[in-house]
Structure 1
């Protein structure tokens, strides 16, 4: 590919030598040539970007430089090392933020991936984070439609992490002959838990329902029901919707397995009190399990709709997943990420919720218990879908514990489960070059090609 240009805006608070070290390391790792330049001002940034095929810009604090982010300057990857919510890049550009100085590494990887592996961005709703990237293999095997893998990124449900985390898997899976739908969604730190779960359901439904529906628009009774991406209509015949795998990493695994359970229930496979059964199997009594999905996801929500046509999830995959939300909260996983995402801590006694009315901005124990029972994969068992639980032994030991207990409880509930535990850390499970991912990819391929 052509050279990657890295531009550092004036006033950026960072050690220049460290920036060069990071860029040099990423250029070597990715096998590209690159140059890092410190710009004097906004006009210098513009001049540098002119004619650059692939550019990463750390804009820094300058208002003049930051004013360029929203302009249509091509496939620029803007990287804010500090958190910068609500920044929207111009057409064809991208914005990453809040990942610290190592955000430069993520920006370079994203820029190289975009050039090497073209994809099609398709919106499934009206809001900025309601989209997915569709990757297609070179051609269907033997002229037949190909199975589909839906990817749901993690990041402990925080907005600084986005769908670019899963890009290495997009390229690997497409190279193995699968269509890949890399899903973005609103995160609860900015939009609330209901918006997050609604978006994942809608993004999944957009793929499976649209391609199975002539004209790309399924039946509906409200404006939101029409927000199904027409971009799938032209590739409908290319996708084998009878063979769909949903794959989530870390917190994304919780979202993926929950979405698979919701769709199984919508198809009539899930009994109303399955959450309570799973709770008993896991040794945790939870009242109100099996309550309906949260409502009121807010503007931009897209109703998932019924399972239609031949669309069928045949495999749900957890890659280092946060599968036990109750213990995830009680053990203060990632500095309280679970309660922060759900909007409430796990009740002290799940088997005996305290009576009373919710305090302003809070849930009663009974309401929180229902929320956790609906959201935690462990408490939703049986999911009534085949599961592949993948975990690296060098990861957070709480995640190792969650994966082992979920796999055991899932088998006891009657689900078909494969548990893969191998050497590897939290990111090895989404690194195509590692043995643990190679084993995972083979297992996904085996399930989708049966």
Structure 2
């Protein structure tokens, strides 16, 4: 789709409630990117622009949406924003399969909002807020996000922790990830399989955290094949 020009539109009144869109309304698949950055305002949707560009070169039938959202130390506001953006994707691409692709903290949000997509891809996601708080991942990013400890706000921590769903989900993580431990994905996959949830997990021995947003990274063929397989199955089921 090299002929398509990205366009930006707001989905709310806040300056950070916007999406960048590439693709036609008759797309069969729309890939909705959710950036990471430990939920901090210094990190923006620009992180995912190389992946948007890769999708835009993927050929007819593909579209992309790059989601910006409020980063205000409120996981529930962020979740509401991502849900609103994914629902906007449904309006813009009514016949498309929505694939929510989140990296790191964006993977956390993608998993929380799984029921507003048809497929979810979580790249080195944060899945354990209590453990992340204890380990001080991101130099205390979970404490900043939640504004308290798990002992002080146990219900909030529980509500902001993703759980496996009936939505097909792919987790990808590197064993050598030094920002979000691979145990996050391992434990989430184990929990999902115990509940018979449709979860696939690919673990790479060498895949540093930021390489998961490299459009030429070694994980890309795995994700592409997984999405194609599930899209093909959906088309067969529909027919």
TM-score of the superposed pair, with normalisation by structure 1: 0.48
Contact 1:330 1:346 in 2 (8 A): no
Matched, 1:250 2:35: no
Asked whether the 8 Å contact 2:36–2:107 carries over to 1, the reply is yes
Q: Give SS of 2:181's match.
A: helix
- Specify the SS of the correspondent of 1:204: helix
CA distance in 1, matches of 2:105, 2:121: 12
Matched, 1:184 2:68: yes
Q: In the TM superposition, what are the counterparts of 1:50-449 in structure 2 within 5 Å?
A: 118-136=5-23, 145-177=27-59, 178-189=62-73, 192-208=74-90, 211=91, 232=92, 236=93, 239-241=94-96, 243-261=97-115, 263=116, 313-347=117-151, 365=152, 368-377=153-162, 380-381=163-164, 383-396=165-178, 398-422=180-204, 423-449=206-232
Q: Distance between the aligned counterparts of 1:430 and 1:165, measured in 2?
A: 8
Name the larger-Rg structure.
1
1:389 and 1:417 in contact (8 A); partners too: yes
Query: CA separation of 1:240/1:116 partners in 2, compared to 1, >3 Å: closer, same or farther?
Result: closer
> Which of structures 1 and 2 has the larger relative contact order (alpha carbons within 8 angstroms, sep 6+)?
2
CA–CA distance in structure 2, aligned partners of residues 130 and 151 of structure 1: 14
The root-mean-square deviation of aligned C-alpha atoms, in Å, is 2.1
Q: 1:449: Cα distance to partner?
A: 3.4
Instruction: Give CA deviations for 1:205-261 in whole Å, capped at 9, x if unaligned.
Output: 2222xx2xxxxxxxxxxxxxxxxxxxx4xxx5xx523x2111100000011110114
CA distance in 1, matches of 2:137, 2:215: 26
**Mapped partners of 2:232, 2:72: distance in 1:** 35
Distance in structure 2 (CA, Å) of the matches to 1:443 and 1:176: 15
The secondary structure found in structure 2 opposite 1:334 is coil
Structure 1 alignment gaps of length 5 or more:
1-114, 212-231, 264-312, 348-364
**1:425 Cα shift?**
0.7
Aligned length, in residue pairs: 229
C-alpha spacing 1:171/1:398, structure 2 compared with 1 (3 Å)? closer
| 1:420 to partner: Cα distance | 0.9
